[in-house]
Amino acid sequence: MSVREENIQIARGHLERFQKHPLGHLIGGSSVETGALFENCSPVNGESLGSVFSGTANHIDAAASAAADAFPDWVSASGKARRQLLHRVADLIVAREQEIAFVECMDTGQALRFMSKAALRGAENYRFFADLAPQANDGHSLPTQDHINYTTRKAIGPVGVITPWNTPFMLSTWKIAPALAAGCTVVHKPAEWSPLSARLLHEIMIEAGLPAGVVNLVNGFGETVGKALTEHPAIKAVAFVGESSTGSAIMQQGAETLKRVHFELGGKNPVVVFDDADIERAVDAAVFMIYSLNGERCTSSSRLLVQSTIYDAFTQKVAQRVKNLKVGHPLDPSTEVGPLIHPRHVQKVMSYMDIAEHDGATISVGGTRTANEGWYVNPTLFTNANNSMRIAQEEIFGPVLTAIPFSDEAEAIQIANDTQYGLAGYLWTTNTGRAHRVANQMDVGMVWVNSENNRHLPSPFGGTKASGIGRDGGDYSFDFYMETKNICVAFDTHKVPGLGK
């Protein structure tokens, strides 16, 4: 039996429970199995992975009440106690590493070569924030001549976490771990197109010993359950990862209850390659950052800006690599690009092939679907493009790259910034001064110089413009999940101006 066949057998074992028993919600520590059912289908072959109970506003109400009831004890537990529990969550994630990876591959279509690390990265998120929990309440001391001002921080309350279908396990841990470390309780709504790994994560958190109601999971659709969560008065803040247009809807939905929001939204990220760059490494990075994770990645380098002196040679090298990419079953260890999440998403991605030709770009590689069953799209490279084309402006969110030439540094910056998005930028040059100059002028939340996207957990992650509001990572996460209080004490009984004496 090939490794691929062996992996498929193992995955069947892990998925059997979801096929036998519809997926319920987890509210106040118990499974709740009520509501209409919807089918969750695998991108690999379109077959059902099982049915899922679709939540309603009543489920959100129950989950928000459970989170509100659990909040007083959780927020007053010691940081050390929270640290211990969150490390236990990480241990249990590691213990179920293979199950999480295989389930995620079959539910999302992401290749095992990338998903095999998803659980470990998720565990790392818990460990990182576990260790910050004992300091989460610490503030600053700000003395003046007459007063001491000092600040303290306290968790804001029960929070909503709404996650998308791309790399759902990792993204959920990235939001939930800091919320718990801060002392918040959580109601989580995962994406309807990939709900399985969220169930594993919540089971693990409950098994680790998080008290009932500290974490709650409600499945279902954005327009109903997601909306109800963002409108619920007991929910004090919403951390959302998804499309920019959904972020805008959530802001409106949360306005009535003055929700604090944290948004990680879409991107149309440039990778800028100057003619003095290390060309081979730049090719590696340009290809990796768009075609890994099927291009279904917010920080994908979907716009390739290349200096005109090397544009033809560089895009030819990229084209050769794109032709060689191994498209196939996500559980085949050699697969580099798997199937896209859903037939509706395939339709969206494929629509850009016509748009590209209509706008005058060249489909240099790809542009077609594969013959396999499942939701596969061949990796695609557009050349002869300019930045005003829709393929350069709109987030396609698939294995599709648009290559655009530029003449000099000023034009590179102008094109890089000419988009509604501002999430990430990548920059390839051996000129140190230019690296700093261009990085400084890129209107994005994160720049990587001579590197692919490399994450250091204490550093801020997030975007500008239509790519987001707020930052994740280290203390930046606590800024969102906590309220800061200032306490001002006079050194001596303060001489207050006496009015009306």
E-assigned strand segments in 374-457: 380-383, 400-406, 421-422, 424-428, 446-449
Per-residue tokens: 127? 């460990």
SS3 488: strand
**Of 156-164, 328-336, 404-412, 477-485: span binding ligand NAD (CB under 6 A):** 156-164
Kindly tell me which of 175 and 321 has the beta carbon lying closer to ligand NAD: 175
**Pick from 226, 328, 398, 399: which binds ligand NAD (CB under 6 A)?**
226
CB 501 within 8 A of CB 160: no
Does the footprint of ligand NAD cover residue 445 (CB under 6 A)? no
**DSSP letters along 106-149, please?**
HHH---HHHHTTHHHHHHHHHHHHHHHGGGTT---EEE-SSEEE
The site for ligand NAD, by CB under 6 A, has a size of 33
Instruction: Looking at residues 468 to 497 of the shown chain, list those that interact with ligand NAD (rule: CB under 6 A).
Output: 468
Q: Is residue 264 annotated as a catalytic residue, yes or no?
A: yes
Kindly tell me which of 201 and 423 has the beta carbon lying closer to ligand NAD: 423
Does the footprint of ligand NAD cover residue 230 (CB under 6 A)? yes
Q: What sign has the CA pseudo-torsion 193, 199, 200, 202?
A: positive
**Of 22-30, 237-245, 310-318, 348-356: span binding ligand NAD (CB under 6 A):** 237-245
SS3 10: helix
**Pick from 239, 395, 398, 403: which binds ligand NAD (CB under 6 A)?**
395
**Pick from 266, 328, 339, 422: which binds ligand NAD (CB under 6 A)?**
266
Phi, psi for residue 217 in degrees, rounded to 5 = -125, 125
Kindly tell me which of 166 and 173 has the beta carbon lying closer to ligand NAD: 166
Q: Is residue 6 annotated as a catalytic residue, yes or no?
A: no
**Of 27-35, 87-95, 124-132, 249-257: span binding ligand NAD (CB under 6 A):** 249-257
Residue 223 has what DSSP assignment? I
Kindly tell me which of 178 and 242 has the beta carbon lying closer to ligand NAD: 242
Pick the catalytic residue from 192, 264, 336, 395.
264
CB burial class (10 A; 0-12, 13-18, 19+) of residue 99?
middle
Does the footprint of ligand NAD cover residue 265 (CB under 6 A)? yes
Does the footprint of ligand NAD cover residue 90 (CB under 6 A)? no
Q: How far apart are CA 407 and CA 413, in angstroms?
A: 11
SS3 237: strand
Does the footprint of ligand NAD cover residue 227 (CB under 6 A)? yes
- Which active-site residues does the annotation give? 264, 298
